[in-house]
Homo-oligomer: A and B are copies of this chain.
Amino acid sequence: LDVIVGPDKLFYAFHPDLEPAVAIGQGDVVRLRTLDAGGGQLRSPDDSLEGIDWNQVNPATGPVYVQGTRPGDILRVDILDLTVGDGSVMMAIPGEGALGDLLTAQETLILPHDDQDILFRDRIRIPKRPMVGVIGVAPATGSVSTGIPGPHGGNMDCSLVTVGASLYFSVGVPGALMGAGDVHAAMGDGEVMICGAETAAEVVLRAQAVSLKGLPTPFLRTSHVLASIFSAPTLDEAADGAAHAMAEFLIRMVGIPVNDAVALMSLVGDLRICQVVDPLKTARFELPSWVPTQYGFTML
């Protein structure tokens, strides 16, 4: 039987002194039941931002202590399953997000789900494309709000973080103290309104330390691509960081000659945007998995 962590076990910042919600062994599976980014406080169009408790915003569920995981390890977290709730919420907030200057009327949008789709304004069906907004581990020092992305992961809002993906994090503290939350039933790259379709969810994860010393983190693998992820105050810095992290991986770990690594990145790699609103920006560099394979490298 899988270990279950319910939405009574919430935290609002990744830091070394978090009390573990549960402990699991290497390679064990855990089910995290997560609340939406509003902490479940916005349930009807009449629920406005003025009425909510901001201390309950951006909850993550956990943290999970992964036994036998030590600082300096690379923790791989596989997303095995992801089930979203029966509805989601969005917030139009004048002045907030990438298009906040255009928003004049604050609004809470409630979007019901059926089995396949998100219903937008009772007229448009949007296919569900669930992804996990917040996932990460405790940093070695300091405290990072669950609303912020960084080297520890956190609020990266990367649309690739979905079923079949594996995340790689550098462990900062014994047991890693992993958690997740802020699931979206759908979200486009950029998350320009500052929210996707914010929903409660169940996230099924498997966690284990892997021998990938030197891997730039956060790093990600899907069935098709590898991706480096980098967050910074500007999109230019985030993009630069993500591109350099992928180059470092290809040159140092895979062993591709510098000119070849950079040429392949330019030919078949994609520099992409995760989000521009958190308020740090997050970029990723995606490269087809066949590139390291061609050079004899197997990703653990």
Contacts and interface: CB of A to CB of B under 8 A. Distances in A.
Interface in A77-113: 90, 92, 97-99, 102-105, 107, 109
Interface stretch (A6-14, A51-59, A184-192): A184-192
29 contacts: A97-B262, A99-B243, A102-B244, A102-B258, A102-B262, A104-B258, A105-B258, A105-B259, A107-B259, A120-B260, A120-B264, A124-B294, A187-B266, A188-B268, A188-B270, A189-B269, A189-B271, A189-B272, A190-B239, A190-B271, A191-B266, A192-B271, A194-B266, A196-B266, A197-B267, A235-B236, A236-B236, A272-B273, A273-B283
A149 to B, nearest CB: 16
A102 B186 CA distance: 37
Interface in A155-202: 186-197
State the main secondary structure of chain A at its contact with B.
mixed
A192 B268 CA distance: 10
A263 B190 contact: no
A267 B196 contact: yes
Given A236-B236, A269-B192, A244 B99 contact: yes
A278 interface: no
Given A239-B235, A259-B109, A273-B239, A268 B186 contact: yes
A267 to B, nearest CB: 5
- Among A186, A239, A264, residue most surrounded by chain B Cβ atoms (within 10 Å): A239
B103 A258 contact: yes
Contacts of A190: 239, 243, 265-266, 269-271, 285
A133 B132 CA distance: 35
A121 interface: yes
A243 B197 CA distance: 19
A116 to B, nearest CB: 15
A123 B294 contact: yes
B187 A262 contact: no
Q: Which 9 A-B pairs have the closest CB atoms?
A: A190-B271, A193-B266, A189-B270, A92-B259, A188-B269, A235-B235, A235-B236, A188-B270, A99-B262
Interface in A242-300: 243-244, 247, 251, 258-260, 262-273, 276, 281, 283, 285, 294
